Chain A
Amino acid sequence: MVTKPRKTSRAKSKPSPVADFSKQEDFSAYREMLLIRRFEEKAGQLYGMGHIGGFCHLYIGQEAVVVGMQAAIDEGDQLITSYRDHGHMLACGMDAKGVMAELTGRENGYSGGKGGSMHMFSREKNFFGGHGIVGAQVSLGTGLAFANNYRGNDRLSVTYFGDGASNQGQVYESFNMAELWKLPVIYVIENNRYAMGTAVKRSSALTDFSKRGSSFNIPGVQVDGMDVRAVKAAGDEAAAFCRAGKGPIILEMQTYRYRGHSMSDPAKYRSKDEVQKMRAEHDPIEQVKQRLISKKWADEAELKSIDKDIRSLVSEAAEFAMNDKLPDAGELYTDILR
């Protein structure tokens, strides 16, 4: 006798399939992820040399998440994230020079030097920041989706937050209203396994973050966030879901941050072996590289030359950011009110 499986919840936790990438898609993903990687490495260096101050949170290891999502959404869709935001800005097309100049606190930085690493925005690219209070961007991103819904346009909001923010109260307040009002928002939970230094299993009662919307009937999917093709496939489905007017959806991106929480984090809470294993076996960029080579879409020399181009682009950005002027003292009192 065959019994039909009973559907108990819209939430599902099985991994989504990977998208079949064309040569061009793999090349784009490789370039975009490598840009983020090299940019972040450079930012780390500049921080060490004292050119970047304050807090600086690097995205190294997590590149496939934002690059895959960008490939899945359309121009005009909005992005918002936390303070670990450099990768998101580069992925949505913001200029590396402007981002780096903001890191060094200079006048041609995206915020004129007033925001720094954690606070950059671009109206033009629909990038809404860059927010420093853990979880606050979730309500704000839901508000962006509210505006889309109010205007009746076809846009959606991609709202990124981490496993740490997933325990904040306002996240659930936002989930409730997003589902209640069927707002077009993709909640991308970047589960990099550590909320600052606290491992997921030490901070979260329910470690399957794709199920965090189940009390609100928001569907969720766990995604291999180290594989850009899996991210793209999940992003495509989620975008179609939102654009069909079905309301919010959660994508739990299982990813990993190679560096510390911020530059001042010695990362004593995890073993070097753990980090090494992730790098060796799951690196998002290495995966694409191996694919490009095994499919004979590129050879080592060609990929090296791409890397070289990116390195020089990043060096130029760093050069620009260190030589750009400090903001004029008169800027202290501008942009407080309109």
Chain B
Amino acid sequence: MPIEILMPALSPTMEEGNLAKWLVNEGDKVAAGDVIAEIETDKATMEVEAADEGTVAKLVVAEGSEGVKVNALIALLAEDGEDAGAFASYEPSTIVATTNVVDGSDNAIVEETVESDVSQKVEKIEIGGDSFSGEVETEIPAGTKMIALSVREALRDAMAEEMRIDEDVFIMGEEVAEYQGAYKITQGLLEEFSARRVIDTPITEHGFAGIGVGAAMAGLKPIVEFMTFNFAMQAMDQIINSAAKTLYMSGGQMGAPIVFRGANGAAARVAAQHSQCYAAWFSHIPGLKVIAPYDACDAKGLLKAAIRDPNPIIFLENEILYGRTFNVPDIEDFVLPIGKARIHKTGKDATIVSFSIGMTYAIEAAERLEKEDIDCEIIDLRTIRPLDMETILTSVRKTGRLVCVEEGFPQSSVGSHIASQVMQQAFDWLDAPVITICGKDVPMPYAANLEKLALPNVDEVVEAVKSVSYR
């Protein structure tokens, strides 16, 4: 039997990649360690080495193929003594990936096929359709041309646009410049804005967060990237005590116009120290604004708003969402208001409130519930602080039922704050106790099955909505 060479996973969250180039031909002899191909992910180009020696019997996936799934068969290697020619018609048992190409047309519906249990729903954003509330329609005029952008590209574009307008805006962080961003969010910025404004720092979060705050106090507008917010714990004192409190302590004389941004929450299989949602932590602090967008449209419009805002902003991104593609309005200078929730879907029977990746559970649950005749209203908070309680209360007064969904820990969660506010301000409208769906009250485990158990899931949301609906 030939040796099957499979598409390798090059990062914890990689699900597919492009086979950019074969460096061997059929019939070539290879030794273990020889570079045989180049693979591109959305983050990087990597070389693939042969793990065994043998003769290349068949290149199953042609070079230039896009969207090749991890673990798909890409080549066959004949072992010593095997006839390389005999496998020309070898039928792989594994699935060879299909290619998804964004067609570029205005109303392109972008498909993303992702293999995890996390929702991989196709996002259909149709202006004027049911997916958007009236409020959002005012943010994006009807008939606006839309373009498909990944969350990653949207964030990059937001920063680039603001840096073009304002010389005081710069970005600093680990690997933001020459490496092009650990998660490729800053790709291309160094080339356009030079090392003066796109600054690689040493791995010293406490120090560079403080330097960023000092620069902001002096009037610059820094964007400080934390590779992930887990590392912002090192910088917590500068964020809370220096950035958030100085305006108040100085009687309004000086504050810190600064954006701290980066990946927040669980990625995939990176265990306890690298998998935590800090939305509730930061939302506790007066003097901070906390933003956690779900789609590319909000990521772009809100990051631009955050950079312009004169206050310290915590901008929580999600690694799993970076590669998701959504429609973004093709408007010059698209800026969204901070502190306004978005009604993702209108409904009459129950309200689901969520944010960031929690939205993936909410959306899929709502679709399943639709089939059981429960019409959910989904609110995407987008901003966690200041919290748009008005939108939540209006919805609860309509539906009488509320489920909050987030990946963070349950105690003192964003949902528990919302539940207490709703109890205090809309008690008489509630037909059932509010249910908060959170991550489990445990450090994130590494094992795949345990990790899955630790995160919220769609079933839990469906059950919660049924429960508040007495169904």
A53 at the interface (CB under 8 A from B): no
* Nearest CB of chain A from residue B106's CB, rounded to whole Å: 38
Whole-angstrom distance between the alpha carbons of A173 and B252 in the complex?
29
Complex interface: chain A residues within 8 A of B216 (CB): 143
Complex interface: chain B residues within 8 A of A147 (CB): 214-215, 218-220
Whole-angstrom distance between the alpha carbons of A143 and B238 in the complex?
12
* Complex partner residue of B206 from A109, A112, A143, A173, CB under 8 angstroms: A173
Which of B15-23, B58-66, B240-248 lies on the face that meets chain A? B240-248
State whether B215 touches A136 (Cβ < 8 A).
no
Whole-angstrom distance between the alpha carbons of A335 and B255 in the complex?
9
Which of B2-10, B42-50, B76-84, B196-204 lies on the face that meets chain A? B196-204
* Complex partner residue of A114 from B196, B212, B248, B311, CB under 8 angstroms: B248
Whole-angstrom distance between the alpha carbons of A121 and B214 in the complex?
13
State whether A128 touches B206 (Cβ < 8 A).
no
State whether A139 touches B250 (Cβ < 8 A).
no
Complex interface: chain A residues within 8 A of B217 (CB): 128, 140, 143-144
Q: A144-B218, A335-B247 are in contact. Are A136 and B207 (CB under 8 A)?
A: no
Whole-angstrom distance between the alpha carbons of A123 and B170 in the complex?
22
A176 at the interface (CB under 8 A from B): yes
B251 at the interface (CB under 8 A from A): yes
Whole-angstrom distance between the alpha carbons of A180 and B250 in the complex?
31
B27 at the interface (CB under 8 A from A): no
Whole-angstrom distance between the alpha carbons of A193 and B241 in the complex?
27
B445 at the interface (CB under 8 A from A): no
* Complex partner residue of A176 from B207, B242, B253, CB under 8 angstroms: B207
Complex interface: chain B residues within 8 A of A214 (CB): none
In the complex, chain A residues 113-150 whose Cβ is within 8 Å of any chain B Cβ: 113-115, 119-123, 128-133, 136, 138-148, 150
Whole-angstrom distance between the alpha carbons of A99 and B286 in the complex?
26
Complex interface: chain B residues within 8 A of A336 (CB): 247-248, 286-287
Complex interface: chain B residues within 8 A of A204 (CB): none
Whole-angstrom distance between the alpha carbons of A265 and B246 in the complex?
27
B211 at the interface (CB under 8 A from A): yes
* Complex partner residue of A174 from B207, B241, B248, B251, CB under 8 angstroms: B207
State whether A173 touches B204 (Cβ < 8 A).
yes
State whether B202 touches A177 (Cβ < 8 A).
yes
Complex interface: chain B residues within 8 A of A177 (CB): 201-202, 204, 207-208, 211
Whole-angstrom distance between the alpha carbons of A176 and B200 in the complex?
13
Whole-angstrom distance between the alpha carbons of A111 and B322 in the complex?
42
A170 at the interface (CB under 8 A from B): yes
Contact with A along B205-233 (1 / 0, CB 8 A): 01111111111111110000000000000
* Nearest CB of chain B from residue A6's CB, rounded to whole Å: 30
A160 at the interface (CB under 8 A from B): no
* Complex partner residue of B253 from A123, A133, A141, CB under 8 angstroms: A123
* Nearest CB of chain A from residue B247's CB, rounded to whole Å: 5
Whole-angstrom distance between the alpha carbons of A144 and B222 in the complex?
12
Whole-angstrom distance between the alpha carbons of A80 and B214 in the complex?
10
A7 at the interface (CB under 8 A from B): no
Whole-angstrom distance between the alpha carbons of A122 and B249 in the complex?
12
Whole-angstrom distance between the alpha carbons of A150 and B197 in the complex?
8
State whether B207 touches A173 (Cβ < 8 A).
yes
What residue of chain B has the Cβ atom nearest to residue A141's Cβ?
B214
State whether A136 touches B248 (Cβ < 8 A).
no
B139 at the interface (CB under 8 A from A): no
State whether A143 touches B311 (Cβ < 8 A).
no
What residue of chain B has the Cβ atom nearest to residue A110's Cβ?
B251
* Complex partner residue of A78 from B218, B220, B237, B255, CB under 8 angstroms: B218
State whether B215 touches A169 (Cβ < 8 A).
no
Q: A128-B217, A139-B207, A150-B215 are in contact. Are A335 and B201 (CB under 8 A)?
A: no
Q: A119-B250, A136-B237, A146-B215 are in contact. Are A173 and B208 (CB under 8 A)?
A: yes
Complex interface: chain A residues within 8 A of B201 (CB): 177
* Nearest CB of chain A from residue B165's CB, rounded to whole Å: 17
State whether B250 touches A140 (Cβ < 8 A).
no
Q: A123-B254, A143-B217, A173-B202 are in contact. Are A136 and B170 (CB under 8 A)?
A: no
Whole-angstrom distance between the alpha carbons of A137 and B242 in the complex?
9
* Complex partner residue of B289 from A112, A131, A337, CB under 8 angstroms: A337
Complex interface: chain A residues within 8 A of B250 (CB): 110-111, 114-115, 119-121, 129-130, 335
Complex interface: chain A residues within 8 A of B208 (CB): 139, 173, 177
A202 at the interface (CB under 8 A from B): no
Whole-angstrom distance between the alpha carbons of A144 and B214 in the complex?
5
A338 at the interface (CB under 8 A from B): yes
State whether A143 touches B251 (Cβ < 8 A).
no
Complex interface: chain A residues within 8 A of B249 (CB): 111, 114-115, 119, 121, 129-130
A22 at the interface (CB under 8 A from B): no
Complex interface: chain B residues within 8 A of A122 (CB): 253
A334 at the interface (CB under 8 A from B): yes
Contact with A along B253-265 (1 / 0, CB 8 A): 1110000000000
State whether A150 touches B241 (Cβ < 8 A).
no
State whether B214 touches A334 (Cβ < 8 A).
no
* Nearest CB of chain B from residue A26's CB, rounded to whole Å: 34
B410 at the interface (CB under 8 A from A): no
What residue of chain A has the Cβ atom nearest to residue B245's Cβ?
A119
* Complex partner residue of A121 from B170, B207, B215, B254, CB under 8 angstroms: B254
State whether B254 touches A115 (Cβ < 8 A).
no
State whether A115 touches B214 (Cβ < 8 A).
no
Contact with B along A240-251 (1 / 0, CB 8 A): 000000000000
* Nearest CB of chain B from residue A35's CB, rounded to whole Å: 23
State whether B206 touches A150 (Cβ < 8 A).
no
Complex interface: chain A residues within 8 A of B213 (CB): 139-140, 143
Complex interface: chain B residues within 8 A of A146 (CB): 211, 214-215, 218, 220
Q: Apart from A143-B214, A170-B204, what are 14 other A-B pairs with CB-CB below 8 Å?
A: A78-B218, A110-B253, A128-B217, A128-B218, A132-B241, A140-B210, A140-B242, A143-B211, A143-B218, A151-B220, A170-B210, A173-B210, A177-B204, A337-B311
Please list 21 pairs of residues, one from A and one from B, whose beta carbons are closer than 8 Å in the complex, sorted by A's number.
A78-B218, A109-B251, A111-B251, A121-B253, A121-B254, A123-B253, A123-B254, A128-B217, A128-B218, A129-B249, A136-B237, A138-B210, A139-B209, A139-B214, A140-B217, A150-B215, A170-B210, A170-B238, A335-B247, A337-B311, A338-B310
A interface residue numbers (CB < 8 A to B) = 78, 80, 109-115, 119-123, 128-133, 136, 138-148, 150-151, 169-170, 172-174, 176-177, 180, 334-338
